[in-house]
Amino acid sequence: MHHFDYIDGEMHAENVPIQQIADEIGTPFYVYSTATLVRHYQVFAGALTALGLDSEVFYAIKANSNLSVIATLAAEGAGADIVSEGEMRRAMAAGVPASRIVYSGVGKSEAELTFALSENVHQINVESDSELETLSRLASSMGKTARIAIRVNPDVDAKTHAKISTGKKENKFGIDIDRAEEIYARAAALPGIEPVSVAVHIGSQLTELEPYRATFVRVAELVRRLRELGHDIRHLDLGGGLGIPYTAAQSNSPPPAPDDYARVVADTLGDIGCKLAFEPGRMIVGNAGMLIAKTLIVKQGEARRFLVLDAAMNDLIRPALYEGHHEIKPVKEPNPKTPVQAHDVVGPVCETGDTFATERALPLINEGELVAFGSAGAYGAVMASTYNSRPLIPEVLVSDDQFSVVRPRQTYEMLLGMDRIADWLPADQENAD
């Protein structure tokens, strides 16, 4: 469910016309719906509590790290799942206390671990022997005790895109579940370490429940073995990864609903006696955002009709990186009699990969008209770059009939100001001759 609809022939974000935002701040831009963010969080968290599961939700900031998005979810009770010091600082700046932060990630620097320890985060998810030893050394030197989970790799195929799979043996994440007893024994013996949890996360954009079921069964068996060995496992971190519909076909037969997911959790782990942590990201923010772009050029080639937009792969890289599909709609509602034609929707970047859609059936769209990319709230702005020296684009948050620019458009002065001329080069190249 989302709150982007045509009202009186024009697409709105909640009760704000998209065209109004474009007129005020220009294009391209991202726009997020507060109502959708809140609705998705409440549906996910409510599905767990409805089954009596002792649970807590840590929003995965990597999906969308805008401070206003984080603050909106924090106000609903969400903690934060973070994978870098930068994300941790964002979470705290948006009002998430360190005691509500889980620090995940396959490679944490000593500086990052030191910062997490100094702030006393809720939990650090350890992913290697080396990290465990380093964390023990740092915690001991600081007089701290690190509450940890060992992230186990269950070797379960999540049946998702190869680039976002994290739970198979060939993936870089976690420690082989068959080594878990050895690693927990080592953790229990180390100073400055308190192993209290098991963590697992098998990938992103999962559209089937069986991989979850297989994973949770393996984790339940592990927890029981660890307890028999004397380990006080009180928490389980079950990660996130629940998919969302990106296409109209998926909307008719959507990925599993939170209610169905919660039932799998209850069936496999409901009697395990642990507090359960969940780290949804895409499921919360994916369909809460759109990318709005303007059609610069309509170009009829020999073989294809092209829509050349002012947004590019540097603004939304999912189609180029993951072959990701996003629904594309005109902001002005088309007349049902408007002809439909196959289009290649592309950006202006000097790469053939700067293609959002190939032979996509769309109503005829004219130069200067706006288009909207659906399901762009996750892994959109957060993965953007300044390739081709294109400034980062704005992000807008809508609430009912109000909107606020929550990240302004980067200016060329800001973009160039990030660089420095080397000391041995003339500072003013224009007058260097």
The answer to whether residue 321 is domain-embedded is: yes
Q: Which pLDDT tens digit goes with each residue over 92-108? A: 999 999 999 999 999 99
The answer to whether residue 428 is domain-embedded is: no
Q: Are residues 261 and 365 in the same domain?
A: no
DSSP letter assigned to residue 403: E
The answer to whether residue 383 is domain-embedded is: yes
Q: Are residues 67 and 129 in the same domain?
A: yes
Q: How far apart are CA 347 and CA 314, in angstroms?
A: 9
Domain residues for the domain of 108 are 34-285
Cα 220 to chain center, whole Å?
27
Q: Is 350 a catalytic residue?
A: yes
| Average pLDDT, integer, range 331-354 | 94
Q: Are residues 265 and 411 in the same domain?
A: no
The answer to whether residue 164 is domain-embedded is: yes
Q: Are residues 81 and 118 in the same domain?
A: yes
Q: How far apart are CA 249 and CA 256, in angstroms?
A: 14
Asked if pLDDT for residue 402 goes beyond 80, the answer is: yes
pLDDT at residue 34 in the model: 98
The answer to whether residue 430 is domain-embedded is: no
Q: Are residues 189 and 93 in the same domain?
A: yes
Q: Binning pLDDT at 50, 70 and 90, where does residue 161 land?
A: very low
Q: How far apart are CA 56 and CA 278, in angstroms?
A: 6
Q: How far apart are CA 158 and CA 207, in angstroms?
A: 9
Record the pTM.
0.93
Q: Are residues 275 and 381 in the same domain?
A: no
Task: Choose the final residue of a domain: 250, 266, 285.
Answer: 285
Q: Are residues 262 and 406 in the same domain?
A: no
Q: Are residues 236 and 291 in the same domain?
A: no
Q: Are residues 237 and 342 in the same domain?
A: no
The answer to whether residue 344 is domain-embedded is: yes
Cβ contacts of residue 83 below 8 Å, gap of 6+? Answer: 61, 62, 103, 104, 105
Task: Choose the final residue of a domain: 218, 251, 285.
Answer: 285
Query: Treating both helix axes as pointing N-terminal to C-terminal, what angle do 258-269 and 210-228 enclose, rounded to 10 degrees?
Result: 30
pLDDT at residue 304 in the model: 84
The answer to whether residue 247 is domain-embedded is: yes
Of 170-174, 209-213, 420-424, minimum mean pLDDT range: 170-174
Q: Are residues 261 and 127 in the same domain?
A: yes
Q: How far apart are CA 125 and CA 400, in angstroms?
A: 38
Asked if pLDDT for residue 31 goes beyond 50, the answer is: yes
Q: Which two tokens stand for residue 238?
A: 């079950």
User: Domain holding 21: CATH number?
Assistant: 2.40.37.10
pLDDT at residue 162 in the model: 54
Task: Choose the final residue of a domain: 250, 285, 320.
Answer: 285
Q: Are residues 401 and 333 in the same domain?
A: yes
Q: With CA atoms as reference, report the closest residue to 399 among 69, 93, 27, 90.
A: 69
Active-site residue identified among 189, 303, 350, 432: 350
Q: Are residues 139 and 238 in the same domain?
A: yes
User: Domain holding 166: CATH number?
Assistant: 3.20.20.10
Q: What is the mean pLDDT of the chain?
A: 93
Pair 47, 40: CB distance under 8 Å:
no
The answer to whether residue 314 is domain-embedded is: yes
When divided into structural domains, the chain yields a total of 2
